[in-house]
């Protein structure tokens, strides 16, 4: 505050004995500095540069902190996407397994749909996960394992399906009963659980980063404002001492005030504006030339941001306090053009040489961007809180370590019928059906979740009124405290309706299979590669092939030459252009029986799309006998009409004016009209009002010759008023050259497909809500666990230090009077206390590695190794160790403190784990491996067995007793954690008695 008072006194000294002039843009800042009393030129320049530097530094800090908050928010969203893809992958694998089981039990092709769809979707899911976790080495390693498990699972499913299709049902079921498939799914679930746990940890860390970024932004704004006020005051103080060089000092002050990032306004003693810098002009909307001489209340209009009531004016506050003051919080500046700016402001009096108040100087800053960043963070947290509270389709609750309910959401109350006050304290088993309790289901859930981290299965549960229902239950163990689970998170979804729907689907499929096997016509289904996928009993009788021989064979098996050779080309042309000779209609073709005989047959082919793949159903009839009679009949219009009438899809002929010229029975049945009723209508009469213009527009372009054909999804309205979705494919036919007479359209009912798409969308939304809710719970649990463990580690050191100090005091004060056994005991106490303190220090170091922000930069390995050698010089001398460095070692990208700690631990182990009586010898060298640099620390010590090479990098893993080789068992765990946090890897090559070659690998830095 004395600095701002000095600024004010500069301006007042200038005005001693003068009236208060109205300042121009170029002269006003100079006038404020006229009273400076002979300063040296150097101090004024230095003060000006400091002010400009403060402005730039403050602005840059605010900008960087705001960008950091935005980046943290994006990282949180990235974690949600990874978890959604993981859940989606598990769901796809489950669908594939469901389809396989249905097919193995029934041999119905309809059950292969989920399996085939999953086989196509798994690769895409894995590729998207690969892209999402490309920046996380540990997740990439897990994904490699997950990709292998998914491949093995699909191979197992494919093998059983192949055996079943080949008629080897017993062999296929034997593979299922071998439990190999279940083991693969369990391993996949465990891997997904590990990856989700890693993402939950990252989410917790990124959320804390977002919060810290917001706090740093606010702090930097306040700090920069205070610093700028101080530097402005310094400029005025220098100006007072520079009166003999007034004009030059005034010019410097003018430049500084106009370049400053904050707004500055100065007034005279009665509150008239005398000076405004450009920032103040922009925020208030008043040019300096117009504002000069006006009352500050007219230019600087401020109100309370919450109440919109005027606040006490700055001039009155400053004149009353007679010192630097921070003005009212939640202040809103009303600009001249109607804009509003939330501001942070301060003011100070301008004092004359006689101590009288000659005016007021105000400094204020627009804090709108900071407020918006804080608002977005609060809104995000509120959305996550409301999400879990608002979920009603899933029961979500927590169990304590004893298996009793600790929390209960609205979805749990709705599904179970238990209100929250009744549910809390109940044992987990109260929600299971009696037969599930008898079978040990509740205990199985908790024990497997405790051992594996997560367990889920479908079981029967009961509501409060005793009614049973089928539920999908997932139990996740909360992170443990002290080695025991802290509780469990439970998510339950009522799948009763889904199970009933699945049962109805199975029954319908069974009924359809029975019908198809008893019709007189042969029915074949082929895929878009021409491979036969299904055949009924009539097809077996017509062609003389067994069904097992037909399924999987090319459809050309049933065609004589030259049709057999030409069919692949015809099919490819149809798939490419949509033009085909038999699609949607029946026609006479020649078939080929197994015995080589040819026969005439009718074939009608319909097309459908399932899971994005095109399939064709052919209805064939042996017409040998009918042909003998038809030789006497005309093959004119009646023949054509019969073909159209047998089409499996709707067909219509529409005139240029929209009238129906011809419709087939399939279309009449689809729309619920008789044929004569439809022929009295136009196509617009049965088209949904919302789709009329789209279809009519395409038809106009078709008749104008702009299109050869078009395909459109639209809605038709049936006679009973029901709207149905159809796929319409239309092409122009007949008429004069260049002017078609009518158009022919093929109509396919896709209502069920549209409904299925909508259902998938709804299920995806439910899954997304479930993932977000679970992420929120795990993030909070992880944060609490981390805080608890850190506090415990610090509190443990106090009693250890006391034990150490008291034991030393006992030895010093009473050592001569103690027997040898007593002195031995005190020595053991001191040694144990030192070991415990070292253990706690290592634990803190290990925990700190998980929390510490990593700031990577190029590091010279030669310098790092040399520094570690100097720090360890006493230990090296004590053991007589010889250390050889094969430089130059090169440069890596790392954080220096973490790298030093890892090197210290490796060299310390190299000189410690040596046979007694042997002089330690250590060799340090490096080698390039692609874009990585590997640093080797080789010793002549006792070595490590192959079976222990990974174990020694885990916390508290020791291969030798404390008496032989003292230590905490955490050193190598710290090495691995530090190197992995810097994006690298670590390992060891060794054998018992042959020394060890430990290595760390980091990305190369510039100059390597």
Residue with the bigger pLDDT between 107 and 522: it is 522
Per-residue tokens: 491: 């998510």
pLDDT in tens, 581-607: 545 556 788 999 999 999 998 888 888
Contact yes or no for 998/911 (Cβ under 8 A)? no
Say if residue 977's pLDDT is above 80: yes
Task: Please tell me the predicted confidence (pLDDT) of residue 448.
Answer: 92
Task: Please tell me the predicted confidence (pLDDT) of residue 13.
Answer: 44
Surface-to-core class of residue 631, CB atoms within 10 Å of its CB (0-12 exposed, 13-18 middle, 19+ buried): exposed
Q: In the chain, pLDDT over 90 holds for what percent of residues?
A: 21
How many Cα atoms are found within 13 Å in the side-chain-facing hemisphere of 476?
A: 21
pLDDT in tens, 193-225: 888 888 888 877 777 776 776 667 666 666 666
Say if residue 574's pLDDT is above 80: yes
The domains of the chain, with CATH numbers, are 59-231 (1.20.120), 261-374 (3.30.450.20), 392-494 (3.30.450.20), 517-628 (3.30.450.20), 854-1003 (3.30.565.10)
pLDDT in tens, 708-725: 899 999 999 999 999 999
Task: Please tell me the predicted confidence (pLDDT) of residue 72.
Answer: 64
Instruction: Report the pLDDT averaged over residues 679-699.
Output: 92
Q: What is d(CA 924, CA 19) in angstroms, rounded to the nearest whole number?
A: 80
Contact yes or no for 776/409 (Cβ under 8 A)? no
Q: Distances from the Cα of 199 to the Cαs of 86, 771, 977, in angstroms?
A: 11, 12, 17
DSSP state of 887: S
Say if residue 2's pLDDT is above 60: no
Contact yes or no for 279/261 (Cβ under 8 A)? yes
Surface-to-core class of residue 899, CB atoms within 10 Å of its CB (0-12 exposed, 13-18 middle, 19+ buried): buried
Task: Please tell me the predicted confidence (pLDDT) of residue 173.
Answer: 79
Surface-to-core class of residue 964, CB atoms within 10 Å of its CB (0-12 exposed, 13-18 middle, 19+ buried): exposed
Say if residue 927's pLDDT is above 90: yes
Instruction: Report the pLDDT averaged over residues 903-932.
Output: 89
Instruction: Report the pLDDT averaged over residues 945-952.
Output: 79
pLDDT in tens, 382-394: 675 566 566 667 8
User: Could you tell me the pTM of the whole model?
Assistant: 0.28
Q: What is d(CA 59, CA 53) in angstroms, rounded to the nearest whole number?
A: 10
Give the β-pairing of 921-929 and 882-885: parallel
Instruction: Report the pLDDT averaged over residues 48-57.
Output: 62
Q: Which of 134-138, 839-843, 951-955 has the highest mean pLDDT?
A: 134-138
Residue with the bigger pLDDT between 842 and 819: it is 819
Say if residue 924's pLDDT is above 90: yes
Confidence of residue 860 (pLDDT cuts 50, 70, 90): very high
Q: Which residues contact 534 (CB under 8 A, 6 or more apart)?
A: 109, 523, 524, 525, 551
Q: What is d(CA 73, CA 238) in angstroms, rounded to the nearest whole number?
A: 46
Instruction: Report the pLDDT averaged over residues 453-480.
Output: 91
Say if residue 851's pLDDT is above 60: no
What are the phi and psi torsion angles at 446 (to 5°)?
Answer: -70, -40
Task: Please tell me the predicted confidence (pLDDT) of residue 4.
Answer: 46
- Closest to 544 in 3D by CA, of 560, 530, 526, 558: 558
Surface-to-core class of residue 874, CB atoms within 10 Å of its CB (0-12 exposed, 13-18 middle, 19+ buried): exposed
Instruction: Report the pLDDT averaged over residues 722-750.
Output: 83
Residue written as tokens 């460095």?
Answer: 885
Confidence of residue 34 (pLDDT cuts 50, 70, 90): very low
Instruction: Report the pLDDT averaged over residues 88-92.
Output: 81
The per-residue b/e assignment along 552-575, b for 16 or more CB within 10 angstroms, e otherwise, is: ebebbebbbeeeeeebeeebeebe
Instruction: Report the pLDDT averaged over residues 812-823.
Output: 75
SS3 track for 858-886: EEEHHHHHHHHHHHCHHHHHHHCCEEEEC
pLDDT in tens, 131-147: 888 888 888 888 888 88
353 C-beta neighbours (distance < 10 Å), count: 13
Task: Please tell me the predicted confidence (pLDDT) of residue 801.
Answer: 64
Residue written as tokens 């002549």?
Answer: 940
**Mean of pLDDT over the chain:** 79
Summary count for the chain: helices (H), strands (E): 32, 29
Cis peptide before 866 (omega within 30 of 0): no
Q: Which residues contact 414 (CB under 8 A, 6 or more apart)?
A: 392, 395
> Which of helix, strand or coil describes residue 520?
coil
Confidence of residue 794 (pLDDT cuts 50, 70, 90): low
| Crossing angle for the helix pair 41-106 and 112-132, to the nearest 10 degrees | 160
DSSP state of 332: E
Report CA Rg, the chain. 41
DSSP string, 221-252: HHHHHHHHHHHHHHHHHHHHTTGGGHHHHHHH
Task: Please tell me the predicted confidence (pLDDT) of residue 7.
Answer: 46
Say if residue 788's pLDDT is above 70: no
DSSP state of 552: T
Give the containing element (helix H, strand E) for 513: helix 496-518
Q: What is d(CA 208, CA 198) in angstroms, rounded to the nearest whole number?
A: 16
Listed range (116-125, 741-750, 872-881) with the worst mean pLDDT: 116-125
Contact yes or no for 688/713 (Cβ under 8 A)? no
Residue written as tokens 């440069």?
Answer: 891
Say if residue 758's pLDDT is above 70: yes
Residue with the bigger pLDDT between 267 and 94: it is 267
Per-residue tokens: 533: 């996928």
Confidence of residue 153 (pLDDT cuts 50, 70, 90): confident
Contact yes or no for 260/56 (Cβ under 8 A)? no
Q: What is d(CA 298, CA 712) in angstroms, rounded to the nearest whole number?
A: 65
Residue written as tokens 């799309």?
Answer: 609
Residue with the bigger pLDDT between 742 and 374: it is 742
pLDDT in tens, 223-258: 666 666 666 666 566 556 655 555 555 566 667 667
Q: What is d(CA 717, CA 324) in angstroms, rounded to the nearest whole number?
A: 77
Q: Which residues contact 709 (CB under 8 A, 6 or more apart)?
A: 578, 702, 729, 730, 731, 732
Bridge partners of residue 458, in order along the sequence: 472
Contact yes or no for 318/336 (Cβ under 8 A)? no
């Amino acid at each position: 505050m004395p600095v701002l008072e000095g600024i004010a006194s500069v301006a007042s000294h200038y005005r001693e004995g003068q009236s208060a002039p109205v300042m121009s843009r170029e002269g006003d800042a100079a006038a404020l500095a006229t009273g400076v009393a002979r300063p040296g030129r150097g101090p004024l320049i230095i003060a000006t540069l400091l002010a400009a530097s403060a402005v730039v530094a403050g602005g840059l800090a605010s900008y960087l902190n705001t960008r950091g908050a935005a980046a943290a928010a994006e990282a949180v969203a990235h974690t949600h996407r990874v978890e959604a893809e993981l859940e989606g992958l598990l769901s796809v694998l489950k669908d594939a397994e469901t389809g396989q089981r249905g097919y193995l039990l029934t041999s119905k092709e309809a059950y292969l749909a989920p399996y085939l769809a999953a086989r196509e979707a798994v690769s895409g899911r894995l590729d998207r996960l690969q892209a999402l976790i490309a920046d996380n080495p540990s997740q990439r390693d897990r994904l490699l394992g997950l990709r292998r498990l998914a491949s093995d699972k699909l191979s197992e499913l494919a093998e059983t399906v192949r055996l079943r299709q080949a008629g080897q049902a017993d062999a296929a079921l034997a593979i299922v009963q071998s439990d190999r498939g279940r083991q693969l799914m369990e391993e996949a679930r465990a891997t997904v659980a590990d990856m989700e746990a890693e993402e939950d940890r990252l989410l917790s860390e990124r959320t804390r980063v977002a919060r810290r970024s917001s706090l740093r932004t606010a702090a930097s704004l306040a700090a920069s404002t205070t610093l700028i006020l101080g530097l402005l005051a310094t400029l005025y103080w220098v100006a007072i001492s520079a009166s003999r060089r007034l004009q030059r000092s005034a010019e410097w002050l003018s430049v500084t005030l106009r370049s400053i990032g904050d707004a500055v306004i100065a007034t005279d003693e009665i509150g008239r504006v005398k000076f405004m810098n450009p920032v103040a002009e922009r925020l208030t909307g008043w040019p300096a030339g117009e504002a000069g001489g006006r009352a500050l209340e007219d230019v600087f209009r401020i109100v309370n941001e919450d109440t919109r009531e005027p606040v006490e004016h700055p001039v009155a506050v400053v004149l009353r306090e007679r010192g630097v003051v921070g003005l009212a919080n939640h202040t809103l500046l009303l600009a001249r053009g109607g804009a509003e700016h939330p501001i942070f402001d301060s003011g100070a009096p301008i004092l004359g040489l006689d101590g009288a108040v000659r005016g007021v100087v105000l400094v204020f800053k627009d804090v709108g961007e900071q407020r918006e960043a804080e608002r977005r963070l609060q809104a995000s947290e509120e959305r996550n809180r409301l999400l879990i509270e608002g979920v009603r389709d899933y029961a979500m609750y927590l169990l304590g370590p004893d298996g009793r309910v600790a929390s209960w959401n609205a979805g749990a109350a709705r599904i179970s019928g238990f209100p929250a006050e009744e549910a809390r304290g109940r044992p987990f088993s109260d929600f299971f059906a009696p037969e599930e309790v008898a079978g040990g289901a509740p205990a199985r859930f908790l024990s497997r979740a405790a051992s594996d981290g997560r367990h889920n299965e479908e079981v029967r549960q009961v509501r409060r009124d005793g009614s049973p229902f089928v539920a999908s239950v997932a139990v996740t163990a909360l992170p443990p405290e002290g080695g025991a689970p802290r509780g469990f998170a439970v998510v339950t979804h009522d799948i009763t309706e889904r199970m009933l729907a699945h049962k109805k689907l199975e029954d319908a499929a069974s009924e359809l299979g029975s019908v198809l096997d008893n019709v007189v016509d042969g029915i074949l289904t082929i895929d878009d590669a021409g491979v036969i996928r299904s055949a009924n009993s009539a097809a077996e009788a017509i062609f003389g092939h067994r069904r097992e021989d037909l399924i999987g064979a090319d459809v050309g098996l049933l065609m004589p030459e030259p049709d057999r050779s030409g069919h692949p080309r015809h099919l490819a042309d149809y798939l490419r252009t949509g033009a085909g000779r038999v699609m949607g209609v029946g026609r006479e073709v020649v078939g080929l029986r197994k015995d080589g005989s040819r026969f005439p047959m009718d074939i009608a082919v319909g097309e459908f799309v399932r899971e994005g793949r095109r399939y064709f159903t052919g209805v064939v009839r042996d017409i040998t006998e009918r042909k003998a009679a038809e030789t006497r009949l005309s093959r004119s219009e009646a023949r054509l009409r019969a073909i159209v009438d047998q089409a499996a899809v709707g067909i219509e002929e529409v005139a240029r004016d929209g009238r129906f010229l011809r419709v087939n029975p399939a279309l009449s049945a689809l729309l619920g009209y008789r044929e004569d009723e439809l022929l009295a209508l136009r196509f617009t009469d049965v088209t949904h009002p919302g789709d009329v213009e789209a279809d009519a527009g395409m038809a106009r372009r078709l008749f104008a010759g702009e299109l050869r054909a078009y395909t459109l999804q639209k809605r038709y309205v049936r006679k009973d008023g029901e709207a149905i979705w159809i796929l319409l494919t239309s092409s122009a036919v007949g008429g004069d050259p260049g002017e078609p007479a009518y158009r022919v359209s093929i109509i396919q009912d896709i209502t069920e497909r549209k409904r299925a798409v909508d259902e998938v969308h709804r299920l995806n939304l439910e899954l997304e809500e479930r993932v977000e809710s679970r992420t929120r719970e795990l993030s909070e649990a992880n944060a609490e666990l981390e805080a608890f463990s850190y506090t415990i580690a610090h509190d443990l050191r106090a009693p250890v230090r006391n034990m150490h100090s008291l034991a030393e005091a006992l030895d010093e004060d009473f050592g001569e009077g103690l027997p040898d056994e007593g002195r031995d005991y005190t020595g053991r106490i001191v040694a144990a206390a030192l070991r415990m303190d070292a253990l706690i220090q290592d634990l803190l170091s290990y925990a700190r590695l998980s929390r510490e922000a990593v700031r990577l930069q190029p590091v010279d390995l030669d310098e790092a190794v040399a520094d570690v050698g100097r720090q360890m010089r006493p230990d090296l001398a004590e053991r007589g160790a010889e250390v050889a460095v094969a430089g130059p070692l090169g440069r890596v990208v790392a954080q220096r403190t973490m790298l030093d700690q890892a090197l210290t631990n490796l060299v310390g182990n190299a000189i410690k784990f040596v046979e007694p009586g042997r002089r330690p010898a250590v060799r340090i060298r490096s080698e390039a491996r692609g874009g990585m640099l590997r640093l080797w620390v080789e010793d002549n010590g006792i070595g490590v067995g192959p079976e222990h090479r990974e174990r020694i990098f885990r916390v508290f893993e020791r291969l030798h007793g404390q008496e032989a080789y003292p230590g905490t068992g955490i050193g190598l765990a710290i090495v691995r954690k530090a190197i992995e946090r810097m994006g690298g890897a670590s390992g060891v090559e060794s054998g018992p008695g042959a020394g060890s070659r430990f290595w760390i690998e980091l990305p190369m830095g510039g100059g390597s």
